[in-house]
């Protein structure tokens, strides 16, 4: 099986003569898959109802003739300017009432029936024309749904939101109950009185906000489904749409059920030393969304992006190393945005596989090298196979978009970042060499030995029960911020957490006490000092940040306490052993070193074997996929391998191999078969 290699290909930005050069270079680089047509609507339908497919016919034939498979976009990601002129009501509106204009991209209201009709009609034309084209490998629906416009506050959206609420609540009194409108005189007498959470004098109704997040996700998903329906009716070829890693506005659990293969766009910042760890988490999410199945890295940058304030280049080897990180964590395709760096437009300074400066460049040489390597790896089969294989894991972290939306609402005890909280746990666990999945908190958890549920703020009864039930046979770690409310943002009274989770953990929360800094007269706020902690959970002293609470223990061991101030002596880490399992509770966010020590302690108690290090060196990432062990050196010093086996990239024996910075080895047992 092939590890796809390629990227977005937008030849409509270039003269025809360049296309032949593209084919030549694609072959040199071993390009096997090109994403075509993502932003071609205005070219395909230059005026309403008038279509021009000639150039695309020619392009697909050319790619096919050159052995490049096509991920064909439905081209609906950005409507042409004529749509805004004919139907200004399709333009999206901000919560302040600003109607956004043409001239960038994605300027449509997701609820607009006019937009949806036009998009569907375009898809019908595209699919009718190309469903049987031999080059098509994959359908690419739209692009990065919600990237710029995830929530629209226009009148059309308002009407759609009311319809969504009617369908959800049936009676207005049920909405009033769930939204808690007895508070602040917000009671609605009819659905007609409800609007999106537009700019208001002060904090808006939390459940209204949450429902609007859900509605907005549903509306985007409805756009996606409308296109998929057209495709499925005509073509059996698999369908995807490109996700964007941890993207707050879109609940990818719901979407992942409806794509045939998960694909992802991820742009870690080369200037940030945390990027390899953060990107690892993103890869694990993509694998998890597909239930462990291989996924596609649909977009990454060959080198710099263009949209940060200052855009760092990838250092030599970094593009390759990060590509292998994706493969190691389950990707069966390494694609880029974009093939040829643009000559004009807002992304002209986004790097391309063919840079402005041409092919006598380090970047291009790395592109060719990686293409050759991936082709060779694709050929491996049996125990040595990489494509199609899985990344086994016994550890999971819960992830729920509802809780993300909820915990980051204003008017909360403290400004908790949901993703930073998950990242802290993910990094601690992966630094131990463990493979980590993400799961919904209401998923079947029985395949795991250890489940961490951090900041799972808005937990339904079913979720609470599911977690508590897991603690009977596995090791459950509940982090602060969990099950504070139900799914309607109604507080779980009587100590939070809710039954049966509260009993499973043997603790309840008397009062939240997040660290804070002076905020007199709203003149600004500083960063509060870290909280002092100590106890066997950390093997000694430690520090915490972000959160604290007065925790009451009913039936649990105290494994660490706060040690200073009003919190001094109060528990911070507890553990309640059950028959075969255990329920841990952690009432703060330990700083990285402390969290790693805690994670190690928890993993050992969960009966998980911690793998021996594969190499010396501090920043070496190790991941087992199928029969292969991927070792990637993200550090600035050489690392030395200490495992046995053979490196699939070089054929050399592993033990004693030195990995330079950005170096990669793919070790398989020496008995493995090279295909």
Residue closer to its own copies by CB (options 190, 446) is: 190
Among 1, 102, 432, 534, binds its own copies (CB under 8 A): 102
- Catalytic position from the list 45, 144, 227, 600: 144
Q: What is the DSSP letter of 444?
A: -
**Does 257 interact with its own copies (rule: CB under 8 A)?**
no
Locate 349 and state its tokens: 């300074």
**Does 530 interact with its own copies (rule: CB under 8 A)?**
no
299 is an active site residue: yes
Binders of its own copies in range 274-293 (CB under 8 A)? 274-275, 278
Among 51, 53, 82, 169, binds its own copies (CB under 8 A): 82
Locate 414 and state its tokens: 């403290």
Burial of 190 (0-12, 13-18, 19+ CB in 10 A): exposed
Taking alpha carbons only, the member of 358, 353, 324 closest to residue 339 is 353
The dihedral through the CA atoms of 152, 154, 155, 156 has a sign that is: negative
Among 16, 20, 21, 46, binds its own copies (CB under 8 A): 46
Binders of its own copies in range 165-204 (CB under 8 A)? 179-190, 192-195, 197-204
To its own copies, the closest distance from the beta carbon of 56 in angstroms equals 13
* 139-to-295, 345, 423, 647 alpha-carbon distances in Å: 15, 26, 32, 35
Cα–Cα distance between 603 and 494 in angstroms, integer? Answer: 31
Cα–Cα distance between 638 and 662 in angstroms, integer? Answer: 9
Among 65, 517, 541, 652, binds its own copies (CB under 8 A): 517
Taking alpha carbons only, the member of 252, 70, 40, 228 closest to residue 141 is 228
Residue closer to its own copies by CB (options 411, 612) is: 411
**Does 205 interact with its own copies (rule: CB under 8 A)?**
yes
**Does 54 interact with its own copies (rule: CB under 8 A)?**
no
**Does 627 interact with its own copies (rule: CB under 8 A)?**
no
Of the CA atoms within 13 Å of residue 252, those in its CB half-sphere come to 26
Among 20, 24, 58, 148, binds its own copies (CB under 8 A): 148
> Do the Cβ atoms of 402 and 210 come closer than 8 Å?
yes
Name the one range near its own copies by CB under 8 A: 131-139, 472-480, 494-502, 625-633.
Answer: 494-502
Instruction: Give one DSSP letter per residue of 122-163, joined into a string.
Output: HHHHHHHHHTT-TTEEEEE-SSSTTSS-S---SHHHHHHHHH
Cα–Cα distance between 256 and 526 in angstroms, integer? Answer: 40
Cα–Cα distance between 111 and 161 in angstroms, integer? Answer: 9
**Does 149 interact with its own copies (rule: CB under 8 A)?**
yes
Locate 599 and state its tokens: 């994670």
368 is an active site residue: no
Among 233, 462, 525, 660, binds its own copies (CB under 8 A): 525
Instruction: Give one DSSP letter per residue of 147-209, joined into a string.
Output: SS-S---SHHHHHHHHHHHHHHHSSHHHHHHHHTTTGGG---SSGGG-----S-SS---HHHH
Binders of its own copies in range 561-620 (CB under 8 A)? 565-566
* Phi, then psi, of 8 in degrees rounded to 5: -65, 135
**Does 303 interact with its own copies (rule: CB under 8 A)?**
yes
Binders of its own copies in range 325-344 (CB under 8 A)? 341-344
Taking alpha carbons only, the member of 553, 466, 457, 465 closest to residue 505 is 553
Residue closer to its own copies by CB (options 281, 468) is: 281
**Does 356 interact with its own copies (rule: CB under 8 A)?**
yes
To its own copies, the closest distance from the beta carbon of 498 in angstroms equals 12
Per-residue x/- track, 371-410, its own copies (CB under 8 A): ---------------------------------------x
Residue closer to its own copies by CB (options 547, 668) is: 547
Among 16, 57, 307, 592, binds its own copies (CB under 8 A): 307
Report how many residues bind its own copies under the rule CB under 8 A. Answer: 140
To its own copies, the closest distance from the beta carbon of 605 in angstroms equals 29
**Does 415 interact with its own copies (rule: CB under 8 A)?**
yes
Among 65, 233, 271, 580, binds its own copies (CB under 8 A): 271
Among 171, 346, 650, 670, binds its own copies (CB under 8 A): 346
Residue closer to its own copies by CB (options 189, 236) is: 189
**Does 295 interact with its own copies (rule: CB under 8 A)?**
no
- Catalytic position from the list 45, 227, 299, 600: 299
Count of C-beta atoms within a 10 Å radius of residue 644 = 11
* 190-to-174, 210, 213, 229 alpha-carbon distances in Å: 11, 20, 21, 34
Count of C-beta atoms within a 10 Å radius of residue 188 = 15
Binders of its own copies in range 464-493 (CB under 8 A)? 485, 488-491, 493
Residue closer to its own copies by CB (options 354, 598) is: 354
Residue closer to its own copies by CB (options 30, 37) is: 37
Among 2, 12, 23, 658, binds its own copies (CB under 8 A): 12
Among 63, 282, 304, 667, binds its own copies (CB under 8 A): 304
Taking alpha carbons only, the member of 107, 141, 137, 135 closest to residue 123 is 141
**Does 99 interact with its own copies (rule: CB under 8 A)?**
yes
**Does 365 interact with its own copies (rule: CB under 8 A)?**
no
* 129-to-115, 136, 170, 490, 627 alpha-carbon distances in Å: 21, 11, 43, 52, 42
**Does 225 interact with its own copies (rule: CB under 8 A)?**
no
Q: Which residues pair with 437 in a beta bridge?
A: 396
Locate 318 and state its tokens: 């970094």
Among 29, 34, 68, 100, binds its own copies (CB under 8 A): 100
Among 433, 514, 581, 645, binds its own copies (CB under 8 A): 514
To its own copies, the closest distance from the beta carbon of 177 in angstroms equals 9
Q: Which residues pair with 69 in a beta bridge?
A: 33
To its own copies, the closest distance from the beta carbon of 272 in angstroms equals 4
**Does 306 interact with its own copies (rule: CB under 8 A)?**
yes
Among 208, 393, 441, 466, binds its own copies (CB under 8 A): 208
Of the CA atoms within 13 Å of residue 653, those in its CB half-sphere come to 4
Buried b (16+ CB within 10 A) or exposed e, 330-359: bbbbbbbbbbbbbeeeebeebbbbbbeeeb
Among 57, 348, 365, 609, binds its own copies (CB under 8 A): 348
Residue closer to its own copies by CB (options 100, 641) is: 100
**Does 16 interact with its own copies (rule: CB under 8 A)?**
no
Look at the chain and count its residues: 675
Q: Which residues pair with 653 in a beta bridge?
A: 646
To its own copies, the closest distance from the beta carbon of 288 in angstroms equals 19
Residues forming the active site: 144, 299
């Amino acid at each position: 099986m092939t590890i796809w290699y390629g990227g977005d290909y937008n030849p409509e930005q270039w003269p025809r003569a360049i296309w032949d050069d593209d084919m030549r270079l694609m072959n040199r680089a071993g390009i096997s898959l090109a994403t075509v047509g993502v932003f071609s609507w205005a070219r395909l339908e230059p005026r309403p109802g008038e279509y021009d497919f000639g150039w695309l016919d020619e392009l697909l034939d050319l790619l096919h003739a050159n052995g490049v498979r096509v991920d064909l976009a439905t081209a609906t990601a950005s409507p042409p300017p004529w749509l805004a002129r004919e139907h200004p009501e399709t333009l999206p509106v901000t919560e302040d009432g600003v109607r956004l204009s043409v001239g960038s991209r994605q300027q449509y209201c997701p609820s607009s029936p006019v937009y949806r009709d036009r998009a569907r009609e375009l898809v019908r034309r595209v699919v009718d024309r190309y469903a049987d084209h031999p080059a098509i490998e994959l359908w690419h629906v739209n692009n990065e749904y919600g990237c710029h416009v995830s929530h629209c506050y226009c009148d059309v959206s308002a009407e759609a939101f009311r319809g969504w609420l009617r369908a959800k609540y049936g009676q207005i009194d049920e909405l009033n109950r769930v939204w808690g409108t007895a508070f602040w005189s917000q009671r609605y007498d009819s659905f007609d009185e409800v609007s999106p959470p537009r700019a208001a004098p002060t904090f808006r109704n939390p459940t209204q906000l949450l429902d609007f997040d859900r509605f907005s996700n549903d509306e985007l998903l409805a756009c996606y489904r409308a296109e998929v329906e057209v495709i499925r009716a005509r073509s059996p070829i698999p369908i995807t749409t490109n996700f964007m890693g941890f993207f707050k506005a879109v609940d990818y659990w719901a979407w992942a059920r409806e794509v045939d293969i998960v694909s992802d766009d991820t742009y870690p910042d080369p200037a940030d030393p945390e990027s390899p760890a953060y990107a690892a988490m993103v890869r694990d999410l993509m694998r998890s969304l597909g239930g462990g199945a291989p996924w596609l890295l649909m977009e990454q940058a060959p080198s710099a992006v263009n949209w940060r304030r200052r855009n760092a280049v990838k250092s030599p080897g970094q593009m390759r190393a990060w590509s292998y990180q994706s493969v190691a964590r389950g990707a069966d395709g390494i694609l880029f945005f974009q093939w040829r760096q643009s000559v004009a437009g807002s992304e002209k300074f986004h790097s391309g596989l063919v840079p402005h400066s041409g092919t006598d460049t380090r970047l291009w040489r790395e592109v060719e090298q990686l293409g050759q390597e991936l082709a060779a790896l694709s050929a491996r089969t049996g125990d040595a196979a990489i494509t199609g294989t899985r990344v086994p894991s016994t550890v999971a972290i819960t992830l729920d978009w509802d809780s993300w939306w909820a915990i980051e609402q204003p008017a909360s005890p403290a400004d908790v970042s949901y993703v930073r909280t998950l990242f802290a746990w993910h990094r601690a666990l992966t630094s131990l060499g463990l493979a980590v999945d993400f799961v919904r908190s209401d998923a079947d958890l029985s395949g795991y030995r250890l489940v961490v549920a951090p900041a799972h703020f808005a937990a339904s009864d079913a979720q609470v029960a599911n977690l508590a039930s897991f603690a009977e046979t596995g090791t459950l770690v509940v982090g602060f911020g969990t099950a504070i409310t139900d799914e309607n943002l109604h507080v779980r009274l009587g100590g939070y957490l809710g039954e049966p989770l509260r009993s499973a953990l043997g603790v309840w929360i008397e009062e939240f006490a997040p660290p804070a800094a002076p905020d007199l007269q709203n003149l600004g706020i500083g960063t509060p000092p870290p909280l002092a902690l100590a106890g066997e959970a950390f093997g000694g002293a430690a520090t915490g940040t972000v959160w604290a609470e007065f925790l009451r223990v009913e039936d649990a061991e105290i494994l660490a306490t706060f040690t200073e101030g009003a919190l001094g002596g109060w528990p911070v880490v507890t553990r309640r052993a059950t028959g075969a399992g255990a329920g841990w509770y952690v009432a703060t966010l330990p700083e990285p070193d402390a969290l790693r020590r805690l994670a190690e302690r928890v993993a050992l108690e969960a009966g998980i074997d911690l793998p021996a290090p594969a190499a010396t060196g501090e920043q070496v990432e190790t991941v087992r996929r199928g029969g292969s062990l991927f070792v990637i050196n993200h550090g600035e010093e050489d690392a030395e391998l200490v495992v046995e086996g053979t490196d699939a990239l070089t054929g050399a024996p592993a033990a004693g191999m030195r990995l330079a910075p950005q170096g990669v080895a793919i070790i398989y047992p020496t008995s493995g078969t090279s295909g």
